[in-house]
C-alpha cells in the first residue's frame, strides 16, 4: 500500500491528456472485460481519447478539470466531478463523472487517495453530498465505493455502450464535515431519501 506522501495529486493540464487517455483505455479494458463487448473494448483508442481529453481540458474552467494521481512521475489515475446532472438531486449534490486507475495499481491506495481528494474539494466548494453512476455488473467498483461508505439510493437506469444495453446503479455519499472522513455521516443506506 502506498502512503499519502507517495501520491501527488494535482489538476490535470492539457499536456497530460495522453497519459490520462492511456489510463482511461487500460482501466476500461480491464474493468469492463466480460461486461461490455470485447470488440468494443479492443477498439478503444488512446490517440482519439487523448484528443478528446486535450480539447476538453483546454475549454473547461480549472475547477472542472480532472484531478490526476502521480507516483514517481507517472499518472496512475484520474477523477473528474462537477454539478450533479440528475434533476431529482439538489444544487448541493455534486457528481463524480469518472474515476479510473491504471489496473496495475488497483488496491494499493491510489483510487482511495484520488477519490478522497476529490470529495474534500467538493465539500470545500459547498457540496453536502455526491453521487455517481456505476455499472451494476462492475462488482469490483461497487465494493470500492461501498467500502468508502457510498450507498445505492435505489435509482437504476439502462444505457447503451458499444451496442450493448447495460444497467447502472446510482450511489450517493454524504460529504464529511470538517475533520471527518468522507461519508462518515452516511453509514445508513440512502434508499429511503
pLDDT band at 64 (very low <50, low <70, confident <90, very high): confident
Rounded average pLDDT over 132-146:
98
Q: How many residues does the chain have?
A: 193
Q: What's residue 11's pLDDT?
A: 95
What percentage of the chain exceeds 90 in pLDDT?
A: 82
Nine-digit cell string for 142: 461497487
Check: CATH 3.40.50.150 for 4-174? Answer: no
Rounded average pLDDT over 164-189:
71
Question: Beta strands of 59-188 (E only): which ranges?
Answer: 67-71, 74-83, 93-101, 129-135, 151-161, 164-174
Q: Is the dihedral of CA 113, 118, 119, 123 positive or negative?
A: positive
Nine-digit cell string for 115: 477519490
Compute the distance between CA of residue 83 and CA of residue 130 in angstroms, rounded to an integer: 9
**Each residue of 96-112: pLDDT tens digit?**
999 999 999 999 999 99
Nearest to 170 by CA among 162, 159, 161, 160: 159
Alpha-carbon separation of residue 6 from 9, 44, 104, 107 (angstroms): 10, 30, 16, 15
User: Do 145 and 100 meet the contact criterion of CB atoms below 8 Å apart?
Assistant: no
Is the model's pLDDT at 61 over the cut of 90? Answer: no
Q: Of all helices (H) and strands (E), which one includes residue 11? A: strand 8-11
- Surface-to-core class of residue 92, CB atoms within 10 Å of its CB (0-12 exposed, 13-18 middle, 19+ buried): middle
Amino acid at each position: 500500500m502506498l502512503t499519502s506522501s507517495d501520491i501527488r495529486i494535482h489538476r490535470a493540464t492539457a499536456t497530460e491528456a495522453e497519459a490520462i487517455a492511456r489510463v482511461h483505455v487500460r482501466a476500461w479494458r480491464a474493468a469492463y472485460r466480460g461486461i461490455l463487448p470485447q470488440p468494443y473494448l479492443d477498439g478503444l483508442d488512446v490517440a482519439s481519447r487523448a484528443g478528446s481529453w486535450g480539447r476538453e481540458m483546454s475549454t473547461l474552467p480549472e475547477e472542472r478539470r480532472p484531478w490526476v494521481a502521480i507516483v514517481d512521475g507517472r499518472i496512475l489515475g484520474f477523477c473528474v466531478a462537477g454539478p450533479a446532472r440528475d434533476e431529482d438531486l439538489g444544487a448541493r449534490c455534486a457528481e463524480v463523472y469518472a474515476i479510473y486507475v491504471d489496473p496495475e495499481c488497483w488496491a494499493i491506495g491510489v483510487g482511495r487517495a484520488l477519490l478522497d481528494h476529490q470529495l474534500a474539494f467538493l465539500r470545500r466548494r459547498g457540496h453536502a453530498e455526491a453521487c455517481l453512476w456505476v455499472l451494476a455488473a462492475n462488482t469490483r467498483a461497487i465494493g470500492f465505493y461501498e467500502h468508502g461508505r457510498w450507498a445505492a439510493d435505489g435509482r437504476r437506469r439502462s444505457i447503451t455502450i458499444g451496442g450493448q444495453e447495460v444497467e447502472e446503479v446510482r450511489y450517493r455519499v454524504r460529504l464529511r464535515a470538517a475533520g471527518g472522513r468522507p461519508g462518515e455521516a452516511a453509514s445508513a443506506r440512502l434508499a429511503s431519501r
